[in-house]
Amino acid sequence: MANFVALLIAGLATGALYALAAVGFTLLWQTSQTINFAQGEFVMLPAFFMLAAMHAGLPFWAAILVGMALSMAILGFAFKRLLVDPMLQHGVLPLAIATMALSTFLKESVKTFYSAEASPFPSIAPDRDIHLLGVSVSWQNIAVLGVAIITVVSLQFLLNRTRTGRQMQAAAQNPTVARILGVPVERMILYTFLINGALVALTSLLISPIYLAKFSNGDTLGLAAFIAAIVGGFNQIRGAIVGGLLLGIVDNLSAAYVSTQYRGAVPLCLLVVIILFKPNGLLGRAEERTV
Amino acid sequence: MRNLLASAGVALMAGAFSASTFAQSGETINLADVAELSGSGATVGTNWKNGIDLAVDEINAKGGILGAKIIVTHADTQSNAGVAKAQAQKALDGEPYALLGPGYSGSVKVCAPLAAEAGIVEIMGGEAAELTKAGNKFLFRTSFGQQTSMPKIAKYIAEDMKAKTAAVVWVNNDFGKGGHDTILKEFAARDVKVVADDSTEAGQADFAADALKVKASNPDVVFIYLNEEESARILKELRKADVKAPLVGETTLIGQKVIELAGDAANGALAHVGLTTDAPIPAIKAFRDKFVARYNYVPDHNGIKGYLSVYMIKAATEKMGKLDSKNLAAALHGLTITPDKEPGILMEVTIDENGDLDRQSFLGEVVNGKQVIKEVLPKLRN
């Protein structure tokens, strides 16, 4: 029983990371019809910003701030202005393909200009366990869950309880009407990209101590974020959260109780089942467009 | 002005001397290296390449091999067997004196037949047992095969550690499968029961479930046989899962890069190491110092392997007394290279008819972030 609980906690921690990446993915789709196939690389990259800052002599806490700022500037602002805005006018598909190219560009850039090898990355949590009711839980898992919960709650507060958040929702739901009502739609969309930049930086900070900082981390994370978003519901932030957590738990439990050799297949099977029986995702709603 | 003329004269003479040194034979030795310079094996391939470059520059600085300058080219397999095959074929089309690499056993498996067909010696870093059992007369190791290392580890686990049960964590590629199959056979022969048999994937990042599975099986010892980066990840997860059983493996478990990546989680890990820069051997310490001075990091065993591969070619070529790539394989078979005759070989090594090596080895432990050698294990046949 203790082992099952430990697996569940580990799965929730991993799932929380997938959820953060998936939330960013979903936000971009909701507000600007951007399917960002470089989301995995967006999670990979901020770790290298932070490592570069530490190599330049900054302490860890300062490197985190630098990494966060660069992530929002480059993966948020610059991504929107330099790639999304020019490509979106040609349609969703060309933009999606452009993000695939961006994914390769980011991965190869890190490999070429930083290193092809993995690098150690410091953790924000101590490397120790605590024992709760006979179950050994690492501080790292607790930190991941804690930060993820705070982030999601803060995001929900921003979106539902603040004027800016409600304007962002209005811009996502119906940009034309929102403009008429005086909502600065373009600025709201930019805010979404900046939020995604912050989310991926946070995810990178939490996941890199576990995965190690490596240029190829985006492959796994991007796929996980995509599956989580689809399973949960591509147009619902809550869906992305549920999808991420479910994916983390299913992956861990299947590796422990089914087969480690086929663990990679289980999330994909889950994806297929969801698409077949609930194509909008567990919490998603059907999308309608006026023609 | 006088100083300037004197300097110019010295430079001219040095250039003339070095030119004449290589001009004696008028030939060059072209070595083609095919290695994992990116992908999951980047640690392996980068160390291997750097070891080769160090050896080549050292040998060239002393006049090359029989007066011939060595020129080495490096190609990236991207840790992918398909790419490795293509790169090897491209390299072999250039008719090199010898082929070096790859490091990954799966890539060696696909490259070796090409080199054999071309009649070119291939000196590689792979450790899977099956590599030298296929009757390929052109394939040579730079480290022990699993058929040599696994009996040593199993003996230590059963007799010294007195373990009755073991959890085996292995990577599902040619390297890992070979090690897994061999260690299971050795455990069975020594009545060590395998209570968890956990396969993982190359490049796998999340080991939480694997660590918890090992913990649940409550083994006397955990045998870990993964590639370097994955070794670091599982060491961290086993530490997080509070697994108390001793962690034992092979060279890939306690290499320098693994210690760097795993941090404190590597402390206490034990491994049989064929090659290590922490060996209590002056020649190896000198190699380590040279490597660190040039590359600013401590190499793992792959760096030593790459370095030795070039010196094996040098020793065999000098034995022949001429540059003869067609007879290089025959010269290598049965050759014993001693450090007093060839200091670059670092430790005495004997190459058998299958391309396997016999050499002393070590039992290492990670103590306070450093690999410490606990025991020196002699050659099998002295």
**What does the mean pLDDT of chain A come to?**
89
For an interface test with A, the pick among B80, B168, B212 (most A C-beta atoms closer than 10 Å) comes out as: B212
For residue B381, pLDDT beyond 90: no
Q: Which of A11, A117, A263 sits opposite B43 (nearest CB)?
A: A117
Report the first-to-last Cα separation within chain A, whole angstroms: 55
* Res A137: pLDDT: 82
User: Domains in chain A and their CATH numbers?
Assistant: 2-277 (1.10.3470)
| Partner A contacted by B37 (CB < 8 A) | yes
Touching check for B63 and chain A: CB below 8 Å?
A: no
Rounded Cα gap, residues A245 and A12, in angstroms: 6
| Angstroms from B201 CA to nearest CA on chain A | 8
Residue B379: per-residue pLDDT: 75
pLDDT tens string A110-163 = 998 998 889 999 999 887 788 877 777 888 888 999 999 999 899 989 988 999
- Condensed to tens digits (0 to 9), the pLDDT of residues B106-132 reads 999 999 999 999 999 999 999 988 899
For the cut 60, the answer to whether the pLDDT of residue B172 exceeds it is yes
d(CA B382, CA B348): 10
Query: Which region among B132-141, B198-207, B298-307 has the lowest average model confidence (pLDDT)?
Result: B198-207
User: Residue B215: its pLDDT value, please?
Assistant: 93
Give pLDDT, residue A191. 93
| pLDDT tens figures, B286-302 | 999 999 999 999 999 99
Q: CB under 8 Å to A157, separation ≥6 — which residues?
A: A165
In SS3 terms, chain A reads as CHHHHHHHHHHHHHHHHHHHHHHHHHHHHHHHCCCCCCHHHHHHHHHHHHHHHHHCCCCHHHHHHHHHHHHHHHHHHHHHHHHHHHHHCCCHHHHHHHHHHHHHHHHHHHHHHCCCCCECCCCCCCCCEEEECCEEEEHHHHHHHHHHHHHHHHHHHHHHHCHHHHHHHHHHHCHHHHHHCCCCHHHHHHHHHHHHHHHHHHHHHHHHHHHCECCCHHHHHHHHHHHHHHHHCCCCHHHHHHHHHHHHHHHHHHHHHCCCCCCCHHHHHHHHHHHHHCCCCCCCCCCCCCC
CA–CA separation, A194 vs A206, rounded Å? 19
CB contact under 8 A, A260 and B198: yes
Q: Of A179-193, A252-266, B167-181, B319-333, which gets the smallest average pLDDT?
A: A252-266
- Mutation target to probe the B interface, by most B beta carbons within 10 A, among A117, A138, A144, A204 is A117
Consecutive H or E run containing B121:
strand B121-124
Domains and CATH numbers, chain B: 25-144+280-359 (3.40.50.2300), 147-273 (3.40.50.2300)
pLDDT of residue A206: 94
The pLDDT tens digits of the residues spanning A239-282 come to 889 999 999 999 888 888 887 777 778 888 888 998 898 888 88
Asked if B152 reaches chain A (Cβ–Cβ under 8 Å), the answer is no
pTM listed for this prediction = 0.80
Q: What is the pLDDT of residues B364-377, one digit of tens each?
A: 999 999 999 988 87
CA atoms within 13 A on the CB side of A113: 11
Greater pLDDT, A129 or A9 = A9
* B206/A211 touch (CB, cutoff 8 Å), yes or no: yes
Contact A256 B172 (CB under 8 A): no
* ipTM of the complex, rounded to two decimals: 0.82
To the nearest whole Å, the CA of B342 is away from the closest chain A CA by 32
Q: Distance from B261 to chain A by nearest Cα, in Å?
A: 5
In 3D, which of A106, A123, A105, A115 has the Cα closest to residue A52? A115
- Looking at residue A88, what is its pLDDT? 85
| DSSP result, B311-357 | HHHHHHHHHHTS--GGGHHHHHTT-EE-TTT-GGG-S-EEE-TTS-E
Whether the predicted pLDDT of B270 surpasses 50: yes
Is pLDDT at B331 greater than 70 in this prediction? Answer: yes
d(CA B2, CA A274): 86
Interchain pair A136, B241: CB under 8 A: yes
Q: Write the residue in B198, B208, B242 that is nearest to A252 by C-beta.
A: B208
Confirm or reject contact between B177 and chain A (CB < 8 A): no
Q: How high is the pLDDT of residue A260?
A: 74
| Residue that has been written with the tokens 């090409």 in this structure | B114
Q: What share of chain B is helix, strand, coil (3-state, %, to 5)?
A: 50, 20, 30
Which chain B residues are Cβ-neighbours of A260 within 8 angstroms? Answer: 198-200, 209-210, 213
Chain B residue numbers touching A11 (CB-CB < 8 A): 208-209
Nearest residue, CB atoms, B205 vs list A10, A220, A252: A220
User: B156: which DSSP letter?
Assistant: I
pLDDT at B256: 85
